[in-house]
Amino acid sequence: MYFALLRKFFLTVFFTLTWILGASDAFSKSQCQIVYDAGSSGTRLYVYEKKNNTWIEHEGPKGSALADPVREIRGAKWSQRKELINEIMSLLDTILQDGPKYSSGGLAWKAFDWKKVCDVRIASIFATAGMRIAEHVNRKRSQTLWRDLKLALQKKLGSKVKVLTRTLPGYEEGLFAWLSVREKKGSDRFGIVEMGGASSQITFPCPKCVDSKNIWIGGKNLKIFSYSFLGLGGDEASKVFGLASSCKYGAGVGSSGWNSKKCADSMKVSTPRGIYDPYNFRNGKRGIYKRLPFQKAGGIEWVFTGAFKFVNEKTIDKCCRNRGKCFEKETSCFRAVYYKRYIEALGLDYKSKRAGASWTLGAAICNENDCLKRFGRKQCLWSSKGCL
């Protein structure tokens, strides 16, 4: 009897100390979120660490694009999806060490030991326009891929971590980019136009807009309008509108009669019906037009994000009137003219402020605030069958 009581006492002390030490370890760690940016060109890992009420971004390595095996493009096959999933999971181990050095001397990414530093609460794999197109092309494969990714990430991180894996509706991609800019500005009185690879997002606060949604952030409710034009991103636009001879790289070289208007006129970005929305659906019909309620926005500041940060009037000279060193040389002249044409079609000033935006940071902010809890029904406009 005595030994049984003594044994019980020591076990109680042991488990109590274990709990205290475990709790102490958890309290000493930073609150973190893992966010994968599954874009059309690849899947980038980010870890967000919260310190002094500020999110610190740790950018990690990049893996293959999720959409490629679904669409079987760029040499990827559907039969190789398990290798893709393993590659995506391995990024969490790869970030523990410094990335390779660039020729300039910088690192591809800096090591971050999230296992030691972080108390991970939420992990997300969020895809953007590339997977929207993939879900339209092959819904069944997409569903299988999302299921397998969730199971793999949950197994990797354990049952205590909340795992989210899905394709973001265009509304959310725009909202998250807006939230990341808001974090830096500390103000709500602005709108963004974001240019991505396969889509473009317009997001701004608009209490009077019928299409605005309720977003809960910072302990208050905001009514935010956000819309994504699928197919109007820099990579897809030349496929949508065609690459006219007047828009080819160096089109103006040796041609005194060339001007950017000749190229711009080949792009039917807008009509009296609104902005052309080539890949989204309405009433079962793909290829629609959308009028944007800018007149209800009020006197807000406009900020251009995404690829707008890297292209301006000088880019037209470099890639169209000359044959300079240009990104994606073949379509570089088209892009330079298109970005300006697109902004003019929106009726905004192309000289408005540029800023960096990180929708992955916005996703972490939204996850922390549960910002979509009052959102209502989501719309997946890229599929005639709705959301998966």
Residue 2: pLDDT band (50, 70, 90) is: low
Q: Which amino acid is at 47?
A: V
* pLDDT bracket for residue 9 (50, 70, 90): low
Give the list of residues 6+ apart from residue 385 with CB closer than 8 angstroms, or none: 139
pTM for this prediction: 0.88
What is the layout of strands, in order, in the sheet containing 199-205? 213-217, 220-230, 199-205, 190-195, 301-306, 353-354
Helix extents (H) in 65-169: 67-71, 81-94, 114-117, 129-137, 139-157
Q: How buried is residue 251: exposed, middle or buried, by Cβ count under 10 Å (0-12/13-18/19+)?
A: buried
Mean pLDDT of 150-173: 97
Q: What is the band of 6 on the pLDDT scale with cuts at 50, 70, 90?
A: low
Is the pLDDT at 24 greater than 60? The verdict is no
Q: Give the per-residue pLDDT at 79.
A: 97
Instruction: Grade residue 238 by pLDDT with cuts at 50, 70 and 90.
Output: very high
CA distance readout (Å), 166 to 37, 108, 320:
11, 27, 39
* Nearest of 36, 34, 377, 382 to residue 214 by alpha carbon: 377
Give the residue-averaged pLDDT of 195-214: 94
Give the mean pLDDT of 187-214. 94
Q: Quick one: how many helices (H) and strands (E) in the chain?
A: 12, 14
Q: What's the whole-number mean pLDDT along residues 102-120?
A: 95
Please compute the mean of the pLDDT values over residues 303-325 and round it to a whole number.
Answer: 93
**pLDDT tens across 244-257, in order?**
999 999 999 988 88
Q: How far apart are CA 209 and CA 261, in angstroms?
A: 34
Mean pLDDT of 88-100: 97
CB 46 within 8 A of CB 60: yes
Whether the Cβ atoms of residue 118 and residue 46 lie closer than 8 Å to each other: no
Give the highest mean pLDDT range of 26-35, 57-66, 103-112: 57-66
Q: Look over the chain and give the mean of its residue pLDDT values, rounded to a whole number.
A: 92
pLDDT of the residue at 21? 47
Q: What is the pLDDT of residue 14?
A: 52
Query: Does 188 score more than 70 pLDDT?
Result: yes
Q: For residue 78, which amino acid is it?
A: W
pLDDT recorded at residue 23: 47
Question: Which residue in the block uniquely carries the two structure tokens 């989204």?
Answer: 280
For strand 162-167 and strand 118-127, is the pairing parallel, antiparallel, or unpaired? parallel
Q: Residue 24, Cβ neighbours under 10 Å: how many? A: 10
The total number of residues shown for the chain amounts to 388
In the chain, the percentage of residues whose pLDDT exceeds 90 is 80
Residue 6: CB atoms within 10 A of its CB come to 10
More confident residue, 277 or 6: 277
Q: Is the pLDDT of residue 152 over 90?
A: yes
